């Protein structure tokens, strides 16, 4: 089975070794065809605390690291 990957923006880095990443999903409304933006937040493991708020990052799914943390930061695409 393939490993899931998402691209999102870091919205919080206040926790130790954890960053909150917001991932946008843009899809047309089934009836009205207007583009609807849905945002979901993921807690991602950041072992070196190198992410800053506003960074665009790629995250990948991993084993459960804590009660709510199931993702890890794979790479920083653009630093803010």
What are the pLDDT digits (tens) for 20-50? 999 999 999 999 999 999 999 999 999 999 9
Whole-structure pTM value: 0.91
What local confidence, expressed as pLDDT, does residue 37 receive? Answer: 98
Calculate the dihedral angle through the C-alpha atoms of 47, 66, 10, 74, rounding to the nearest 10 degrees: 50
The correct answer on CATH 3.40.50.980 for the domain covering 5-78 is no
Q: Mean pLDDT over all residues of the chain?
A: 96
Instruction: Give Cβ neighbours of residue 70 (< 8 Å, ≥ 6 apart).
Output: 42, 43, 61, 62, 63, 64
């Amino acid at each position: 089975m393939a490993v899931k990957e998402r691209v999102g923006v870091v919205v919080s880095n206040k926790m130790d070794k954890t960053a909150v990443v917001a991932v946008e999903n843009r899809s047309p409304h089934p009836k009205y065809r207007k583009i609807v933006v849905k945002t979901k937040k993921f807690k991602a493991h950041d072992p070196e605390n190198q992410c800053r708020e506003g960074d665009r990052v790629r995250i990948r799914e991993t084993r459960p690291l804590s009660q709510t943390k199931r993702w890890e930061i794979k790479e920083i695409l653009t630093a803010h």
